[in-house]
Chains A and B, each alone.
Chain A
Amino acid sequence: MDSGLDIAFLSDRYGPMVVRRCRRLLRDEDEALDAAQDVFVRLIERRAELDARYPSSLLYRIATNVCLNRIRDRGRRPAASRSDDDDRLDAIARAEIPGGDSEARMLLDWLFNRHPESSRTIAVLHYMDGLTLEQVAGEVGLSVSGVRKRLRKLRDTVRHVHLQAGEELER
């Protein structure tokens, strides 16, 4: 397959940034390298979105997405390696569904099916990385109001899930 992209150049120029991003989110050297490799595969798939002026933007978003998917899929890590950032990340990756049992996973799938993948990226950039709404908007190519709307929808869904969980407990 000829992607039309000079992956050697891109991985040389942006590789350190991608590796750092994966390390920060995954906190595991081997998994971070594995994820960083995935990022460049995904880049080929999403090459139509590449902005020649700012390739770093798409690569950073892909790296964030790849890592969030891995966090979601691997379940909770041992408590000894956890930090506040880890908890926040898990909450975003799992959209704050409490617990790690199969029921929660079903809810998780339900939640992810109702929100675009980019909503989780937006949540990470805003809540964890500390980007302002304006900066997030610039990163993901949405308007500020669009970003605000995505975050509100995500919060509403989480609130709804929490309410449902509370009703289940009361029965």
Chain B
Amino acid sequence: MSADIPDVVLERYRLKELPPDEAARLEDRIRHDEPLRRRLEALDRSDEDIRRSGVLDRLSERVPHSQPVRRRLDSFGAVPAALAVLAVVALIAVLRIEAPTPGGTNAADSSDRIKGLTPSLAVYRRTAEGSETLADGAVARPGDLLRIGYRAAGKRYGAILSIDGRGAVTIHLPPQADRAAALKGDATVLLDQAYELDDAPAWERFYFVTADAPFAVAPVVDAVRAAAADHRRPPPPIALPHGLDQFTFSIQKEARP
């Protein structure tokens, strides 16, 4: 069945550049067409492989006066590293919210997500060569500089938060507002600021909460706090009001030797 959808159509669908009626028809097909979903997943994996390989950094090499992609992909190249770290630390200092004693409710599962059709997070870590993509559950260390990206997958508003092993909540998106941010595009969108992991123990859990309409961030923060009842392990998905969906991503923290 899926073979009758040309590659270029799937590419443009993923980039959100299909005319709306054609995109709607394709979305309907995707819901019922497993091979088509597998093709989308393969494209997701291919994107990841290409980004990880560093090939994108070389694409603009022959363009006169253009800068390598890393300048944009990797905020670290755009601003002197020390300045970038200072900016990040300052941002985190403003947004860090100390968690009160957690209460403890658990939540609806989002296991019915269809990969490629639902919002998701990508977390990149700065390396000596550039950056690498972290898998869900990957190990990271204090001082690691992370860059968070999201894929809106058609959702219009979103907030990205994380909570660490000390129960401290950080709001990554929106940068400075109490309402969810308007999400952009369909390809992975990188947040402007990098994020330096501190020495909080055990884990850092990220939540990408999305909706089709604007929503307040404060209740989401409360829900994240409430979910973090046991600081020894990452909290489960959070309880959210109707109309809000979530994607979660965890990092295991390991002390630097």
Check A24–B7 contact: CB distance below 8 A.
Answer: yes
With A54-B12, A56-B17, A60-B11 already in contact, the answer to whether A11 and B59 are too (CB < 8 A) is: yes
Q: Which of B30-38, B62-70, B107-115, B157-165 contacts A (4 or more CB under 8 A)?
A: B62-70
Check A7–B63 contact: CB distance below 8 A.
Answer: yes
Q: Does A144 contact B (CB under 8 A)?
A: no
CB neighbours (8 Å) of B3 from chain A are 130
Size bin of chain B's contact surface: 35 or more
Find residues 93-131 in chain B having any chain A CB closer than 8 Å to their own CB.
none
Check A13–B63 contact: CB distance below 8 A.
Answer: no
Bound form: Cα–Cα A142–B22 in Å? 18
With A18-B59, A41-B63 already in contact, the answer to whether A9 and B72 are too (CB < 8 A) is: yes
Check B62–A41 contact: CB distance below 8 A.
Answer: yes
Interface 0/1 of B32-76, CB less than 8 Å to A: 000000000001001100110001101111111111110111000
CB neighbours (8 Å) of B55 from chain A are 15, 19, 33, 36
Check B56–A130 contact: CB distance below 8 A.
Answer: no
Check A56–B60 contact: CB distance below 8 A.
Answer: no
Interface 0/1 of A19-49, CB less than 8 Å to B: 1110010000000010011111100100000
- Name A residues whose Cβ lies closer than 8 Å to a Cβ of B: 1-3, 7-9, 11-21, 24, 33, 36-41, 44, 53-57, 60, 125, 129-131, 135, 138-139
- Name B residues whose Cβ lies closer than 8 Å to a Cβ of A: 3-4, 6-9, 11-12, 15, 17, 19, 43, 46-47, 50-51, 55-56, 58-69, 71-73, 185, 187
